Amino acid sequence: NGTITQGQGTDSVIVNWDSTGTGSLSVVDTNAFGCPGILQSITVTINPLPVTSPVNGPDSVCENSLATYFVAPNAGSVYNWSVTNGIISGSNTNNLVNIQWGSSGTGTLEVIETNAAGCPGAMVSMTVYIFPIPPAPAILGSGLVCAVDTAQVYSSPLVGGLTYNWSVSGGTITSGLNSDSITVSWDTASVSGSITLLVINQYGCASAITNLNVTMNPLPNATASPDSVSLCRNQPDRKST
């Protein structure tokens, strides 16, 4: 159940054991006078190698993102994970691993399974494509508005391939949602509001959120007094407000 690959005729040999099960190795020592000694034999138990499943998990991610990967568990096995262009978060000896990926490009995830008998299996690997995230967008527009402003325009520089995700508090987006420019109608009852924007690129990677705080200035409330007045012709009129 095996083949001697090196050392025949010497005091040590290298054996390639072929398949799982039981094998035996025997040796007879012959001295300088040509006299053979007693046959010595040992029984060898040949344990199977583990068969590791393919790695499961996303093969494309956004840079600096966290993703989970796993192989099918086998009782008694331990796993040795390694990664390039990323960092293992937590344990690397279970069948499941969390990876914090690095900068855009490619990364590689590898695992070697060792079974309960101490036999390591073949390395299983996975290539992961790491896509860039867009930079945080700028918001162009006024942070000081009048309380009844119903057509205030806000925009962000147009970049091809980006989807614009706006949200507003203290007002309502009346046009331009998901574009690079929106029109906002601010609420008359509010004194402050805000606009937030994130952009998503063609790879599905989202930017950091940009926030613009907006102050809504109240309209003046002028009154004229007195309510009525009687004047003489050509006499200057004085009123207070």
Given this model, what pLDDT does residue 190 score?
Answer: 74
Q: Please, what is the average pLDDT of the chain? A: 91
138-187 pLDDT, tens per residue? 999 999 988 777 789 999 999 999 999 999 998 999 999 999 999 999 88
Residue 233 vs residue 104, higher pLDDT? 104
Q: What is the distance of C-alpha 34 from the center of its chain?
A: 72
Where residue 130 falls among pLDDT bands split at 50, 70, 90?
very high
Label the pairing between strands 181-186 and 171-175: antiparallel
- The beta-carbon contacts of 39-46 under 8 Å, at least 24 apart in sequence, are 44/2, 44/17, 46/1, 46/2, 46/17, 46/18, 46/19, 46/20, 46/21, 46/22
Q: Which residue has the higher pLDDT, 239 or 128?
A: 128
| Per-residue pLDDT tens over the stretch 22-78 | 899 999 999 999 999 999 999 998 999 999 999 999 999 999 999 999 999 999 999
Cα separation of the two ends of the chain: 110
CA dist., res. 143 & res. 195, Å (int):
10
Please name the residue that has the structure tokens 């993703």: 67
Amino acid 146: pLDDT: 81
pTM across the whole model: 0.76
Query: Following DSSP, what letter does each residue of 151-196 receive, concatenated?
Result: -EEEE----TT-EEEEEEESEEEEE-TTSSEEEEEE-TT-SEEEEE
State the Cα–Cα distance between residues 37 and 83, nearest whole angstrom: 54
Q: Residue 218: its pLDDT value, please?
A: 78
Backbone angles phi, psi at 214, to 5 degrees: -125, 130
Report pLDDT for 237: 56
Q: What is the DSSP string of 82-135?
A: EEESEEEES-SSSSEEEEEE-SSEEEEEEEEEE-TTS-B---EEEEEEEEPPPP
Confidence of residue 227 (pLDDT cuts 50, 70, 90): low
Which tokens go with 105?
């490009």
Position with higher pLDDT, 20 vs 78: 78
Which of 23-37, 115-129, 218-232 is most confident?
A: 115-129
Percentage of residues of the chain with pLDDT beyond 70: 93
Each residue's pLDDT tens digit, 66-90: 999 999 999 999 999 999 999 999 9
- % of the chain with per-residue pLDDT over 90: 74
